[in-house]
Amino acid sequence: MSRDNAHPPSRPTAAALAAAYFFYAAVLLRTPSIGAIRPFLPAYMALEILYLVLFTLVLWRPPRRQITRHLYFVFQSLLVLFLLILHPGFDFIINLFVLLSYQVALIFEGRERWSWVVVQILLICLPLMVFQGPAQGLAVSLLSMAVGVVFPAYAVVTQEIDFSRGKQEQMLAELQETNRQLTAYANQVEELSAVQERNRLARELHDSVSQTVFSIGLHSRAARILLERDPERLRSQLEQLQALTQDALVEMRSLITDLRPQENRPGERPTP
């Protein structure tokens, strides 16, 4: 895959989106409650709002270039780390790393996705372990670290479900198209069989019935001549004429039966 043509990012579900903004709201609303930062509160909250603006923009309009996406997460991570360094007592700021870990799962895939998730998990715990001591920092960050894993895992599972649903819909469409083609082919075969049957009946009509009718015409003409010239031979000529007529009737009945076989039940004699 080209580094400048990344795969389309996944869209967050409504539940995950609500949880993400709930996390952010919890961080933003808790900030003014800490009296120690009141002199710097406007600038501090401005940086938090900047984080939200960038988070929302990339969530709905992610950059097309892969390098731009990486730079975005570098900048956001440094921004959250800067907010934590400004006041290490604000351990709740690490929840912003949790949101980034979720966004990573939507933007990237494969090795890049999980590499960034690991980076966010380390950024959740390491600064607190430095500022509050290894034991205390790890204890405070454990819950956020767990959520930082659950959020991207949820995003990955959702993507796999959507992908499977898309594959099933594609397979269903292909099966419907195949069924349509088979139906069309069956209709063509049926039409071809009907044409072949008509051609067979036409040949039989020409080869047998038409010849018999032609012979009837000849014998009728001969009978008329014998009636005038040799009446004694007329009887045998009429008998031949009657036999030909009977043969022609039998052949016509057979052809009519072939033309409409569905009207005859099994074992039923052909309808004259």
d(CA 201, CA 19): 77
| Contact in structure between 47 and 79 (CB atoms under 8 Å) | yes
**Residue 205, SS3 per DSSP:** helix
* Residue-wise pLDDT tens digits, 195-218: 777 777 667 666 666 677 767 777
Question: Would you place residue 4 in the very low, low, confident or very high pLDDT band (cuts 50, 70, 90)?
Answer: very low
Q: What is the mean pLDDT of the segment spanning 239-255?
A: 73
Given a cut of 90, is residue 104 above it in pLDDT? yes
The CA-to-CA distance between both ends of the chain, in Å, stands at 75
d(CA 95, CA 101): 10
Give the pLDDT confidence score for residue 209 in this predicted structure: 65
Burial code of 31-46, b = ≥16 C-beta within 10 A, e = fewer? beeeeebeeeeeebee
* Residue-wise pLDDT tens digits, 77-95: 999 999 998 888 788 899 9
Per-residue tokens: 204: 């039989």
Given a cut of 90, is residue 75 above it in pLDDT? yes
Instruction: Identify which of 262, 216, 267, 263 has the alpha carbon closest to the alpha carbon of residue 241.
Output: 216
Give the pLDDT confidence score for residue 264 in this predicted structure: 47
**Residue 139, SS3 per DSSP:** helix
Give the pLDDT confidence score for residue 207 in this predicted structure: 62
CA 60 vs CA 11, 12, 17, 103: distances in Å: 8, 9, 11, 11
| Domains of the chain (ranges, CATH numbers) | 14-172 (no CATH), 181-263 (1.20.5)
Q: What is the mean pLDDT of the segment spanning 248-252?
A: 73
Residue that wins the pLDDT comparison between 250 and 171: 171
Give the pLDDT confidence score for residue 122 in this predicted structure: 95
* Residue-wise pLDDT tens digits, 184-196: 888 888 888 777 7
| Contact in structure between 174 and 181 (CB atoms under 8 Å) | no
Q: What is the mean pLDDT of the segment spanning 45-51?
A: 93
| Contact in structure between 226 and 234 (CB atoms under 8 Å) | yes
Maximum CA extent, the chain? 143
Angle between helices 134-204 and 14-30 (to 10 degrees): 160
Give the pLDDT confidence score for residue 114 in this predicted structure: 93
Given a cut of 90, is residue 123 above it in pLDDT? yes
**In this structure, is the dihedral angle defined by the CA atoms of residues 92, 97, 103 and 109, taken in order, positive or negative?**
negative
d(CA 55, CA 106): 12
For residue 25, which amino acid is it? Answer: A
CA 95 vs CA 17, 37, 80, 124, 253: distances in Å: 15, 18, 9, 8, 92
Q: What is the mean pLDDT of the segment spanning 266-272?
A: 49
pLDDT above 90 coverage of the chain, percent: 28
| Contact in structure between 83 and 47 (CB atoms under 8 Å) | yes
Given a cut of 50, is residue 126 above it in pLDDT? yes
